[in-house]
């Protein structure tokens, strides 16, 4: 069953569109080289899906759980820990205490999606801080700009995955368990929705107007978890639409409306994360950074180990 999770969320087109639309909405108070890199950022949307080849086994094996999280399997863990290793420890403790299908709590089955997202977000914010320092010192920024563009595009992949409700659930590809509404149990809904339907019926222009100006996030991790949960709350909508033929052929208006809103939600969260990384990269950091004078660290940032 784990193998089925290897489905590529949003397919090549959806990922490319989500990144491109977010890049084109970059506001005037953000670095304009990012907006000018919209083509490269769009190209990077599907990048982690290019890391699934068996010819690079270690990469494929390590990164596949980054694309999803089965939120139903961690409903007992609230709030989710903020660090990857605390999350892993909690899952292994749960597994050890479970007799019925304990392997359902293996991290690679539960998924690590919010952790990779916040890790790439951290890389982006760190690179933006370097960019600010180089600019302040009147030094060239071309090299760090390349890093920033890569991190921004890479981040977009996971943020987009999370707007696809079937990347947040045990119901990722065919209904399992009690099924009073008679949803499909066939293993086709995932790819039909995110790849076939989108490729045939939707373009970036269809959802770009739904994406608004960026907003600063107060707590990127907590806000991202709320975004994942909101996506998870829409899992049954996907199944209802499928049952009504919404994703077959040209689909239905309801399916178009639903799908464009999910794609827009992905672009919006990506844009908000870029914006927040940019603004927060100006905050003082703990004094371990040799490039910074000693300054009181914000209490929300843990000191380095």
Does the protein bind Zn ion through residue 190 (CB under 5 A)? no
The runs of H, that is alpha helices, within the chain are: 11-24, 32-36, 38-44, 57-63, 84-96, 107-110, 113-136, 142-163, 189-191, 198-201, 204-207, 220-232, 235-243, 253-280
Does the protein bind Zn ion through residue 67 (CB under 5 A)? yes
* Least distance between Zn ion and beta carbon 46 (Å): 8
Determine the 3-state secondary structure of 25 from DSSP: coil
* Least distance between Zn ion and beta carbon 15 (Å): 7
Q: Output 161 or 280, the one with its CB closest to Zn ion.
A: 161
* Least distance between Zn ion and beta carbon 300 (Å): 29
Q: Output 30 or 273, the one with its CB closest to Zn ion.
A: 273
Both structure tokens of 84: 């990857």
Does the protein bind Zn ion through residue 242 (CB under 5 A)? no
* Least distance between Zn ion and beta carbon 157 (Å): 6
Using the contact rule CB under 5 A, the part of the chain among 9-17, 36-44, 102-110, 219-227 near Zn ion is: 9-17
What are residue 149's phi and psi, to 5 degrees? Answer: -60, -40
> Length of the chain, please?
305
* Least distance between Zn ion and beta carbon 42 (Å): 16
Tokens 């086709």 map to which residue?
A: 188
Bridge partners, residue 60, by sequence: none
CB atoms within 10 A of CB 209: 10
* Least distance between Zn ion and beta carbon 116 (Å): 10
Using the contact rule CB under 5 A, the part of the chain among 157-165, 241-249, 267-275, 277-285 near Zn ion is: 157-165
Q: Output 9 or 118, the one with its CB closest to Zn ion.
A: 9
State how far the Cα of 46 lies from the Cα of 139, in Å rounded to an integer. 33
Does the protein bind Zn ion through residue 5 (CB under 5 A)? no
Does the protein bind Zn ion through residue 9 (CB under 5 A)? yes
Using the contact rule CB under 5 A, the part of the chain among 6-14, 25-33, 125-133, 258-266 near Zn ion is: 6-14
Bridge partners, residue 174, by sequence: 172
Does the protein bind Zn ion through residue 34 (CB under 5 A)? no
Q: Output 158 or 278, the one with its CB closest to Zn ion.
A: 158
Residue 96's contacts (CB-CB under 8 Å, 6 or more residues apart) are 102
How many chain residues touch Zn ion (CB under 5 A)? 3
Does the protein bind Zn ion through residue 112 (CB under 5 A)? no
What are residue 180's phi and psi, to 5 degrees? Answer: -65, -25
The gap between the terminal CA atoms of the chain, to the nearest Å, is: 38
Burial 210-232 (b: 16+ CB within 10 A, else e): ebeebeebeebbebbbebbeebb
Using the contact rule CB under 5 A, the part of the chain among 160-168, 196-204, 281-289, 294-302 near Zn ion is: 160-168
* Least distance between Zn ion and beta carbon 152 (Å): 16
State how far the Cα of 145 lies from the Cα of 135, in Å rounded to an integer. 11
Binder among 161, 194, 242, 280 for Zn ion (CB under 5 A): 161
Residue nearest to Zn ion (CB): 67
Summarize as ranges the residues that interact with Zn ion (CB under 5 A).
Answer: 9, 67, 161
């Amino acid at each position: 069953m784990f193998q089925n999770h290897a489905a590529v969320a949003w397919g090549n087109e959806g990922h490319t569109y989500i990144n491109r639309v977010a890049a084109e909405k970059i506001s005037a108070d953000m670095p304009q080289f990012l907006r000018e890199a919209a083509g490269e950022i769009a190209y990077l949307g599907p990048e982690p899906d290019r890391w699934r080849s068996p010819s690079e086994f270690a990469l494929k094996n390590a990164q596949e759980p980054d694309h999803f999280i089965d939120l139903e399997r961690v409903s007992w863990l609230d709030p989710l820990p903020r660090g990857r290793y605390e999350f892993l420890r909690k899952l292994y403790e749960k597994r050890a205490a479970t007799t019925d299908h304990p392997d359902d709590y293996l991290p690679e089955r539960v998924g690590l999606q919010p952790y990779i997202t916040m890790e790439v977000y951290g890389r982006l914010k760190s690179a933006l801080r370097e960019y600010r320092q180089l600019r302040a010192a009147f030094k060239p920024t071309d090299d760090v700009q390349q890093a920033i563009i890569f991190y921004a595009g890479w981040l977009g992949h996971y943020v987009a995955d999370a707007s696809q409700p079937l990347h947040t659930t045990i119901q990722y590809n065919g209904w399992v368990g009690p099924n009073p509404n008679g949803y499909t149990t066939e293993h086709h809904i995932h790819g039909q929705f995110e790849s076939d339907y989108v490729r045939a019926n939707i373009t970036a222009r269809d959802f770009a107007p739904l994406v608004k100006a960026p907003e600063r996030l107060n707590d990127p991790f907590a806000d991202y978890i709320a975004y994942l949960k909101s996506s998870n709350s829409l899992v049954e909508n996907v199944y209802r639409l499928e049952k009504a033929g919404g994703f077959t052929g040209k689909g239905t208006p309801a399916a178009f409306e639903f799908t464009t809103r999910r794609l827009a939600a992905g672009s919006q969260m990506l844009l908000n994360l870029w914006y927040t990384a940019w603004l927060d990269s100006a905050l003082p950091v703990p004094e371990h950074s040799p490039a910074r004078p000693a300054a009181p660290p914000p209490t929300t940032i843990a000191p380095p180990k």
